[in-house]
Copies of this chain bind each other. A is one copy, B any other.
Amino acid sequence: MKIEVLKDITSANDAIADRNRGTLDKHNVLTLNVMSSPGAGKTSLILNTIDRLRNELNLAVIEGDVASKIDADKIDSQGIPVIQINTGASCSLEAQMITPALNRLPLENIDLLFIENVGNLICPAEFALGEHKKVVIASTPEGDDKPTKYPLMFTEADTVVINKLDLLPYLEFDFAGFRKAVEGLNPKVKIFEVSCKTGAGIDAWCSWISAEAKRGRV
C-alpha cells in the first residue's frame, strides 16, 4: 500500500520533470542536478564553476535546502541569479518545486543552470527534476564505501565528482576501489577528481560542462 503511494508520487513527479525539461530545452539551458551528502562541496563546486565559466556562459542557480539561505547568499554575492527553495521536512527537491522557480528565472538569457539539491544521498536519487545531467559529489573524508552503501544515487549519476583531494594526505581513501564500485553500478558514468579548495581538477570539470553546453546549442 505504502509502495503504491510512492509509485504514484514518483510517476506524477516524472511527468512534471518532463515538462520542466521541455521548458529548459526550449531556451537551450543546460541543467545540472547536483547531489551529495551534507558538506561534500556542492556549493563550493558551483562557486568554482561560476568563477571559471562566467565570462563564457550565463549561469543561474536554484538552491534547495531544508532550511536557511546560507548557500543562496553565497551565490547572490557573485551577482548570479539565484532562487532559494526551502523544502521544510522534505528530504529532496521535487519537480513541482522547480516549475515556479523556472518561471521566475530569465531563461532566455541563461546557458547553464545548476540545481543544488538537498544534502542527502538517498531521497534525491528518486526524484527527476527536469535536469539534463545528474552530478553526484563524493568527498574523500566521507570514505570510499559510499557507492556500496548508497547504490541508487551512484546508479542514477551521469557524472561523479570526487571532491576534497587536498585532504588525501590525512585520510585513507581507496580511489581504485571507489571507481570499481561506481563503475560496477554504472558503467557509463564519467568521474572527475577535484579539490574545490586548491582548484585541482576544476579545469577538466569545466571543460566537460562547456562541451555539454555547446552540444545543447547545436
Question: A: which residues have CB within 8 A of B?
Answer: 5-6, 37-40, 65-68, 70, 89, 91, 118-123, 126, 139, 141-143, 145-146, 148-152, 164, 166-167, 170-171
Contact = CB atoms under 8 A, between A and B. Distances in A.
A202 to B, nearest CB: 19
Contacts of A167: 141, 167, 170-171
A107 B68 CA distance: 42
A145 B91 contact: no
Nearest to A36: B38
A149 B38 contact: yes
A121 B120 CA distance: 7
A67 B150 CA distance: 7
A101 to B, nearest CB: 19
A65 B152 CA distance: 13
Given A170-B166, A170-B170, A38 B121 contact: yes
Contacts of A143: 39
B67 A149 contact: yes
The 7 closest A-B pairs by CB, nearest first: A39-B142, A141-B141, A91-B122, A37-B38, A39-B143, A68-B148, A37-B37
A123 B123 contact: yes
Q: Among the interface residues A38, A139, A143, A164, which one has the most CB atoms of the partner chain B within 10 A?
A: A38
A150 B70 contact: no
A172 B5 CA distance: 43
Given A68-B145, A123-B123, 14 more contacts: A5-B5, A38-B150, A39-B142, A39-B146, A65-B149, A66-B150, A67-B149, A68-B148, A70-B145, A70-B149, A89-B122, A120-B121, A141-B141, A170-B170
A164 B151 CA distance: 25
Nearest to A44: B143
A119 B67 contact: no
B91 A141 contact: no
Contacts of A91: 91, 120, 122-123
14 contacts: A5-B5, A37-B119, A38-B142, A38-B149, A39-B142, A40-B142, A66-B151, A68-B148, A70-B148, A91-B91, A119-B121, A119-B149, A141-B141, A167-B170
